[in-house]
Structure 1
Amino acid sequence: MRTFNWAILGLGNIAHKFAESLTLLPNARLHAVASRSVAKAEEFAAKFGAPHAVGSYEELLAVPNLDVVYIATPHSEHHAHTLLCLRGGLPVLCEKAFALNAAQVHEMRSVAQTEGVFLMEAFWTRFFPAINKALELVAAGTIGEVKHLTADFGFVATYQPEARLFNPALAGGSLLDIGVYPLFISKLFLGEPQEIRAVATLAGTGVDKNCAMVLAYDSGATASLFSTLAAQTNNQCVLYGTKGQLHLTGRFHAANGITLHLTGQEPQAIPCEKQGYGYQYEAEHVQQCLEQGLTESPLLPLQFSEELMKQLDTIRQQIGLRYPGE
């Protein structure tokens, strides 16, 4: 079995979770880490046993025997760091939100195709066993025709204007950080919307603190979605069909099972595997793609990510949120 050498670019909280998740894959190892601080890189490398630690992102390109890079910097930096790696010939798994806007995603996609290098958005939700099982059940017509989907994601974040979540220079706000999850799940199950309407409450820095979205689809289905940095929500997703309901159990974006409520029947619990944080599922899929010589994922193609980014652009336009430099 081929072992894949991973690098992590950007060493914040999510990078630690990803590094820990890699240890659950027998054919993956953390080979290199990159930070703007060499001391931080060396500390991270020591913690996870990575043989290479560099103090700039550019230096990562010179590390030998790298197979793939996971980019875990703030949203505002994804575009530049992805292009850096792609042009250096390194396959990329880039954290969501994929970029600031659809124009950036389009360029990332074009460069990946021109260079013939693998690129995928790190939307870990797509690869959880519970999500795959839910997609199977819906496709099989288990709950009939889906007529409505609800999804929410919210937590209480301390208001710090310079912090990542509230800083417009770092593409802060609830929408790009967590609102993207309800939007993603609605697209995964219902496809491209015919219409999007959004309203928001803005924080003092001008980024969205609350964002509520309603969507309509050609199929006749609708969706109601919500994200907030001001309250703890249930982080649930429910699909309502003509024959019953499907609930993703646990936090829907990292679901650990499904509950089916079919009309006239007792609720049925379907547990699904969820090991650790769950980032290993997307990493394993990337390795399978690389093993097959693919330059994009058949389960999460770049077209999907670009369309999702266009939805985010539409919502930001409606709520009056622009980021510096746009």
Structure 2
Amino acid sequence: MTELPLKRIKWGIIGLGSIANKFATDLATIDDAELYAVASRDQEKADYFADKHNARKAYNSYEALANDPEIDAVYIATPHALHKENALMCLEKGIAVLGEKPFAMNAQEVEEMIAKAKEKKVLLMEALWTYFLPHYQFVIKELKNKTYGNILKIESDFGFQRPYNTKARLFNKAMGGGSLLDIGIYPIFATLSTLGTPKNMEASATFFENGTDSTCNMVLSYENDVKAYLKSSLVDVLPTQAIFYCEKGTLKIDTQFHAPTTVTIIAHGKEETKDFGYNTIGYNYEAIHFNQLIREGKTESDIMTFDFSRKLIKTLDDIREIIGLEY
């Protein structure tokens, strides 16, 4: 019996910045998927991006892309503050949505997106790519299986230096800029995905003159005095690791823990570093998962679930309240 070919998933991308470039590069490595259309508010930028990544169509408005009946899935890579309106627009048209993290600006916006996806019976998923990377899945499995016993402590950070520029999205408060939403989300994700919801949180922050947070220090507390010490910074170069101290050993996701990297295991008096043989930027893993969900007619991921996205945005909301960060 001849096996039928897989449905070719036609992708659109809204918002054509650096992450969109990385996603498009990795999408090209996936069989039975293609970058069909891209959209920017600048036609010249859209044309350049389409030419660079071999997209068939280049639109000068997000609405035009959403109205293209050929598109199966859209990757939303616009600034944080636009995620909700862009997602709702595409979901209304019946297009499956993979939306960059943070999913939206707050829990209320996330609930609106989930409600619309359920109403339209259309797939929606937060694009927290780290969850799908083989090294992270390995760590999750080791911790779940208690290979090294229970977690005693987590230390995780994410920090780099950028020249302060209020015109740049990263520092633009109106666009959801600042360290917490942009990069602090990763250490928080590492904690929630391994320990779950904390019973208590402490946080402190420093701010740029325009009110965006330059650094954020967080302590998430759990039962049995287990704590996660987390930090994000746009003014300090940090190791950007995630370290899980367990009863019988330590699992350390090495530098750039959120991206393809290595894992160092320290146990039984030995230290071993596992290499996962990455040959892409790493965005292909979440895209492959998303493509499969579309083919199976699913409307929610079993990995990046709605409940996990809710938990993540609520934690971000709670920390913002503690440090007095309002958008």
TM-score (norm 1): 0.97
SS in 1 for 2:21: helix
CA distance in 2, matches of 1:84, 1:259: 43
Question: In the TM superposition, what is the alpha-carbon distance from 1:271 to its structure 2 partner?
Answer: 1.7
Question: In the TM superposition, what is the alpha-carbon distance from 1:265 to its structure 2 partner?
Answer: 2.2
Question: In the TM superposition, what is the alpha-carbon distance from 1:313 to its structure 2 partner?
Answer: 0.5
CA distance in 2, matches of 1:108, 1:38: 28
AA partner of residue 118 (structure 1) = L
Corresponding residue of 1:183: 188
Corresponding residue of 2:259: 254
TM-score (norm 2): 0.96
Corresponding residue of 2:247: 242
CA distance in 2, matches of 1:122, 1:219: 32
**Residue pair 2:81, 2:175 contacting (<8 A) in 1 also:** yes
Question: In the TM superposition, what is the alpha-carbon distance from 1:219 to its structure 2 partner?
Answer: 5.5
2:287 aligned residue (283, 290, 298): 283
Which 10-residue stretch deviates more, 202-211 or 271-280? 271-280
1:138 aligned residue (122, 143, 149): 143
CA distance in 2, matches of 1:249, 1:155: 16
Measured at CA, do residues 179 and 316 of structure 1 come closer, stay the same or move farther in structure 2, by a change above 3 Å?
Answer: same
CA distance in 2, matches of 1:300, 1:313: 19
Are positions 1:149 and 2:148 aligned together?
no
AA partner of residue 173 (structure 2) = P
Measured at CA, do residues 238 and 112 of structure 1 come closer, stay the same or move farther in structure 2, by a change above 3 Å?
Answer: same
Are positions 1:315 and 2:315 aligned together?
no
CA distance in 2, matches of 1:154, 1:239: 19
AA partner of residue 42 (structure 2) = S
Aligned pairs for 1:207-246 (under 5 A) are 207-218=212-223, 220-246=225-251
CA distance in 2, matches of 1:143, 1:111: 42
CA distance in 2, matches of 1:255, 1:182: 15
SS in 1 for 2:170: coil
CA distance in 1, matches of 2:262, 2:121: 37
Corresponding residue of 2:90: 85
SS in 2 for 1:252: coil
AA partner of residue 213 (structure 1) = M
CA distance in 2, matches of 1:257, 1:168: 34
Question: In the TM superposition, what is the alpha-carbon distance from 1:64 to its structure 2 partner?
Answer: 3.2
SS in 1 for 2:94: coil
1:127 aligned residue (100, 112, 132): 132
1:296 aligned residue (300, 308, 313): 300
Task: Percent identity, please.
Answer: 43
Q: CA RMSD in A?
A: 1.1
- Structure 1 stretches of 4+ with a deviation exceeding 3 A read none
**Residue pair 1:201, 1:210 contacting (<8 A) in 2 also:** yes
